Amino acid sequence: MNVRRLIPATAVAGAVALGLTALSACSTSDAADGGDGGKLKVTASFYPMQFLAERIGGEHVAVTGLTKPGVEPHDLELTPRQIGSISESDYVLYLKGIQPAVDDAIKQSGVKNTVDAATLTTLENHGSEVSGHDHGHEGEGEEHADEHGHEGEEAHEEHSEGDGHNHGEEGGADPHIWLDPVKYAEVAKGVGKSLEKADPDHAADYEKNTETLVAELDKLNTAYESGLKNTATKTFITTHSAFGYLAERYGLTQQGIAGIDPEAEPSPARIQEIHTIAEKEKATTVFFETLASDRTAKTLAKDTGLKTGVLDPLEGITDKSRGADYIEVMESNLTALQKALGAK
């Protein structure tokens, strides 16, 4: 377990108490009250949720993101002010299991319209070959195939019968659903419907905005399908094992470097293993991400004779991002994968 990512429960509880004491009168703010200048006051936990809220909410929402650009979401520590802003919100959109501090604050906020994106699609467990065990979530990658841990599980029972997958049980399922355009589109549809319910006066606009975004995501999915159909290899290596859903969707194999921290040095044994895999599968590239150091990738590349490249897990947009928003960065990721995999 990565110590620097642990947030003391007492600190969270204290900050929650401070935030809620100051804002208890607003803690059950209803959407009908209009929020910020007549707009629905929306809090989004990190960039993939913020993108959905802004695109679907459009002119009717005022969105506050809890994770600033350039901050690794798992490292987020909430200030009393941020906890207070959650409590004042008309609508909160988050992804349970990514940010424990956010999960705790939302649980205690009393906000009526709270949506966990993980309940809007099907979460899965990914083994080490596909999604790795090195992303810093305690116990991620352990098999809990039949356990359920969401309070809102009944909200998506249509996904839960017979598929054998874990649906967002903390510590079991891979939370990186936004990196699969198809799953992200499922989440977008659920967010659209929940916004319609939270703010019925603007339901028609939310529905229209959702349809527009889903069409863009469908187009992105088609681009990935055709762009990765014929490649020299199907294996890519990454320091951040966030791409299990993407790999599964497009028939690829992700090989994550062992270690829970994307910036951790790989062990000599894992370097040798990756070298063997790279030779066998004709892999060419070790990918690193924009929000973490490229040290691990360069070390591995030097020791194995591989190239390095950027594959962005889209946990935040900065001036270093290869695109201005989710769609553009995902297009850049596709280009990077095509190059690394030898697309024909």
| Sequence-distant (≥ 6) Cβ neighbours of residue 274 within 8 angstroms | 237, 255, 257, 266, 286, 300, 304
pLDDT (tens digit, 9 = 90+) per residue, 254-265?
A: 998 854 455 566
Q: Coil, strand, or helix at residue 235?
A: strand
- Residue 229: burial class (beta carbons within 10 Å; 0-12, 13-18, 19+): exposed
* C-alpha distances out from residue 139 to 68, 115, 136, Å: 26, 24, 8
Structure tokens at 110: 């009393």
pTM given for the model: 0.77
C-alpha to C-alpha distance for 89 and 92, rounded to whole angstroms: 7
**Any idea which residue has 């290596």 for tokens?**
237
Structure tokens at 311: 């594959």
pLDDT (tens digit, 9 = 90+) per residue, 73-131?
A: 888 899 999 999 999 999 999 999 899 999 999 999 999 999 999 999 999 887 545 43
Give the residue with greater pLDDT, 311 vs 162. Answer: 311
Q: Which of 10-19, 116-125, 237-246 has the highest mean pLDDT?
A: 116-125
Asked if residues 330 and 246 have their Cβ atoms less than 8 Å apart, the reply is no
Nearest alpha carbon to residue 196 among 31, 45, 29: 31
With residue 308 as reference, give the H or E element that holds it: strand 307-310
C-alpha to C-alpha distance for 286 and 308, rounded to whole angstroms: 5
Structure tokens at 88: 């004042």
Task: Report pLDDT for 21.
Answer: 37
pLDDT of 26 above 80: no
- Of the listed ranges 17-31, 97-111, 237-251, the one predicted with least confidence: 17-31
**Any idea which residue has 């339901």 for tokens?**
203
Percent of the chain with pLDDT over 90: 56
Task: Report pLDDT for 299.
Answer: 79
C-alpha to C-alpha distance for 267 and 254, rounded to whole angstroms: 18
Cα dihedral sign for 28, 30, 36, 40? Answer: positive
